[in-house]
Chain A
Amino acid sequence: MKHIRIITDSTEKTRKLGAKFSELLTIGDVVGFIGDLGGGKTTFTQGILQGLNYDGAVTSPTFTLVHEYPTNPKIYHLDCFRIKVHSDYASIGIDDFLLDDAILLIEWADKIIDYFILRTWQVVFNFVEGSDQRRELVFHHNKPAEMQRLADHFRDFIMETQ
């Protein structure tokens, strides 16, 4: 099982999926989001924060690069949209965040994903042809056991594994 696909047809559902996904996360986890603008990354992130009982605003870190949330565990929300040079990703301070007892959420992670090898979730957001609301979320983790946990956790949702 390399990928798990879940279809969402509304921002509300995307947010719910994020909240449910947050139940799987523990200290040290890194989640990379990959997908085009408008794909649902922000909404999914809002869901994760909601799932961790954070009720404040979850704003985009594109310009400010890093936001920190006082959740339990702590969340660092990073954004690599403005980072253009591959060799510079370490300079965003990621090593400091990795050493902290926290979960890292990284937007535009395709620019940075090979920096991590283990304990990394990837969530790809795809547009679905023929519908402007529909999105396909594709989950991947390097560890088979984590993929199995995800499959069990989301078994009630429309899903396809391959």
Chain B
Amino acid sequence: MLVLGIETSCDETAAAILHDGAVLSSIVSTQWLHARYGGVVPELASRAHLKLLTPILDQVFFEAGLSKEEIEAVAVTRGPGLIGALLVGIATAKGIAFSRNLPLVGVNHLEGHLWSAAFGGGYIQPPFLALLVSGGHTILIGVEAFGQYKLIGRTRDDAVGEAFDKVAVLCGLNYPGGAEVERLAKQGDRAYHTFPVGMRGREGYNFSYSGLKTAVANFIHKEADAVSHHLEDLLACFQEAAVTALVEPSIKAMQDFGYNTLVVSGGVAANQRLRERLQEESARLGAHFYSPKLEYCTDNATMIAWVGWKRLQAGYQDSLAMSGEANFPIPGMK
């Protein structure tokens, strides 16, 4: 089945075409607005989606070598996300579905991320434990089967990607500076200082990043030369604490729930130190570890088309009355 996927939930305008789950073409446009405004501005972002979506759709069909008549279903992100941004993708998807009388399927953005290690690397057989880490989300989900999910842990305050971006700001780097933090941390000494690991010693499998961010802010206030002379060391220590706070609950959940496979996804899954640590710890348990290709860590439409295809196979379909939902829960999540 040829499925067109459309994603406009936040910063990226994206489209992709998949044939039975295999990627034919996938385009993600980091909006030019960002360079100009340095962050997402909702209403402007919606306008950018409007402006960018049609040319991106033309391009995605061109790169797949298909005409618009050949598509067999349309999948679109229904939420969670910025409502104005979501509606641009949804209205477009409905237009295409209505005009060609094609099935329309709304997809949860986070469910897309959950499965993104499966594209280009083969299907990952559930059950597995999924660690979803990004600028807006930090969640641990048990995946029993497609559409059967169990919430195991989540952040109590900030998302891990946000902690990276905010620590970057504390250190005078530009926002968003998560990738720059990782680059500098590579050259730093992890023994320079010990920052607290959020939720360590607490019950459950949750995460917390507000305290770590504050600890970094306090340290910078106290140690005058921390940023000027020890920036790499400081960031290496921050990154180690941030990564450890993800690794420890994940590994504990692997053991307690008996999972044999760990899958990381989302924008922060691009962090090499996190991948390294999860890989090491999984190997120690004798468990498998999977991570997405870098291009599928950040927001993309491939994951939307893929989950849409799976949902259609499972018999789900949405009507043209479907609307966007800013706080859309993952279908099948307990």
Contacts and interface: CB of A to CB of B under 8 A. Distances in A.
Interface of A: 11, 36-40, 42-43, 46, 57-60, 62-66, 68, 81-85, 88, 91-93, 127, 132-133
Nearest to B175: A82
Contact of B169 (A37, A60, A64): A37
B124 interface: no
Nearest to A90: B43
A91 B44 contact: yes
Given A37-B169, A42-B210, A88 B41 contact: yes
A65 B45 CA distance: 13
Contacts of A133: 218
Of B166, B211, B213, B214, the most chain A CB neighbours within 10 A belong to: B214
Contacts of B80: 64
Interface in B116-170: 134-136, 154-159, 161-162, 165-166, 169-170
B47 to A, nearest CB: 9
How many of chain B's residues touch chain A, expressed as a range?
35 or more
A89 B214 CA distance: 27
Contacts of B258: none
Contacts of B41: 82-85, 88, 91
Contacts of B218: 38, 132-133
A98 to B, nearest CB: 16
Contacts of B166: 37, 62
Interface string B289-302: 00000000000000
Contacts of A36: 217
Interface of B: 10, 37-44, 80, 82, 84, 134-136, 154-159, 161-162, 165-166, 169-170, 175, 210-211, 213-219, 221-222, 326-327
Contact of B82 (A60, A62, A65): A65
A78 to B, nearest CB: 11
A59 B44 contact: no
Contact of A132 (B44, B155, B222): B222
B170 A38 contact: yes
A62 B158 contact: yes
28 contacts: A11-B211, A37-B169, A38-B170, A38-B218, A42-B157, A42-B158, A57-B156, A57-B157, A59-B157, A60-B159, A60-B210, A62-B165, A63-B10, A63-B136, A63-B161, A64-B136, A66-B326, A82-B41, A83-B41, A84-B37, A84-B41, A88-B37, A88-B44, A91-B44, A92-B43, A127-B217, A132-B222, A133-B218
The 9 closest A-B pairs by CB, nearest first: A38-B217, A91-B43, A82-B39, A63-B136, A132-B218, A38-B214, A63-B135, A60-B158, A88-B41
Given A42-B210, A84-B39, A93-B84, 17 more contacts: A38-B215, A40-B214, A57-B155, A59-B155, A59-B159, A60-B159, A62-B162, A64-B82, A68-B327, A82-B39, A82-B175, A83-B41, A84-B38, A85-B41, A91-B41, A92-B42, A92-B43
Nearest to A57: B156
A140 to B, nearest CB: 23
Of A38, A57, A59, A62, the most chain B CB neighbours within 10 A belong to: A38
